[in-house]
Structure 1
Amino acid sequence: MTALLIDDEKHCRDVLTLLLKRYCPHVQILANCASGAEGQAAIETLHPDLVFLDIEMPGMSGFDMLEACRYSKFRVIFTTAFNEYAIKAIKHNALDYILKPVDKDELIRAVSKAEQELASQAPPRVDQLLTYLQTQRAGDRIALPTMEGLQIIHSEEIYYCESDGGYTRFALKNGQIILISKTLKEVEEVLESKGFCRVHHSYLINLRYVQRYIRGDGGEVVMANNKTLPVSRNKKQEFLSLLEKI
């Protein structure tokens, strides 16, 4: 069985490569890819049987990459630190995932399941997942009033929102910054039911894209775009409680 590893973090690719060679030596690794764009090109060129795919990557997420791929006849094992939205989508479509740090027993189980599906010639479920994601996104659109008019985006495109007086800056996955004439409190009322948390008087973050929490008086949170944001002392417990539920 041939495989591709797609993850923006080199140490994660290195660990997974080591575990596969040690515990699943029959898996032939065709390539290690450091981005969604690189992974897409490798998939369309090499046509692997199996793809180990990180979900949270800067620029192009794992889901974005799958949507962009013109070839989809492969099995996917997602790798993720924690992402409630992503795991819900994966489970809904009977796909497999491994939580980071990767456990060898979970890896062996997931690879064995992929081999069984391949042997039975069961159709891959990638297209089914993409249809599900498109359906979910259709009902998750918000309109941002800008100087030019309205910009329609999905909540999952937002890394975080930052207060700027009576305005709010939206930091998006594509690197774009959008400034709108609404307070962060008004924005929070719209987004709090969509997986967002107010961690500071100046910041509202998308919990999907939390990479890690750094302890401190209030602490700090590192987002998927490597931006470090403060957590205020009075918001710390609520934030940590929400993380524990993911």
Structure 2
Amino acid sequence: MKAIIIDDEPDCVKLLALQLKMYCPQVEVIGEYTGSEEGLNAIRGTAPDVVFLDIEMPKMNGFQLLEMVGDLSFAVVFVTAYDKFAVKAFKFSAIDYLLKPTDAKDLIAAVQKVERSRRMDSRQLALLKQHLSPAKPFPEKIALPHHDGIIFVELKNVLYCEADNNYTWFFLANGQKHLVSKTLRDIQDTLEERNFLRVSRQHLINLDHIAKFMKGEGSYVIMTDGQSITVARSQKEKLVERFGWL
């Protein structure tokens, strides 16, 4: 697998190249660049399988560089110093990322993902830019990693999510359901700020799709598709608070 590293910090470039050599021998680093323009020319001239790319760079940032490339016929792993809140945007877009300073275990995991899917969908990049934009902090879609690619789903159409061991089922308003290779906890971390609530170990629900809340000892909600979902005793108070119910 041929790789290019583009980062305006020389020390970060050297460290990542060394880590790839030590921990990911299947990756051949064919170019190391500290300038975005040099990196762009290298991508056009060498056709890499994966590009490890910094976002914040002078003259041309990582997003602008990818726009200049046009057709993304390679995988992209962003190497970023963004804080934990912005990292949610990467998860929301199903885009691989590494936090600086890069950790060996995270690097190995990112390379393994690239080996399974060696191309970025341009819609993922558009989603990421939208999520990181302060002008519109709550995008309308989420990208879901699927066994044969990426599924793009509008949040308003997600009724609820159901845990299935290390996977999660997404149940949609049109009757479809999709199995995603993420745990429900991972999904919860991404969606709870988007009007979703974990009501039990098994379920994360879209509060906009609650049709009825049944109080009592065994509380449960009825969703707009008629599905009844149990509300754990520990989560009942949170649900009531979110709606301001008496």
TM-score (norm 1): 0.50
Structure whose CA Rg is larger: 2
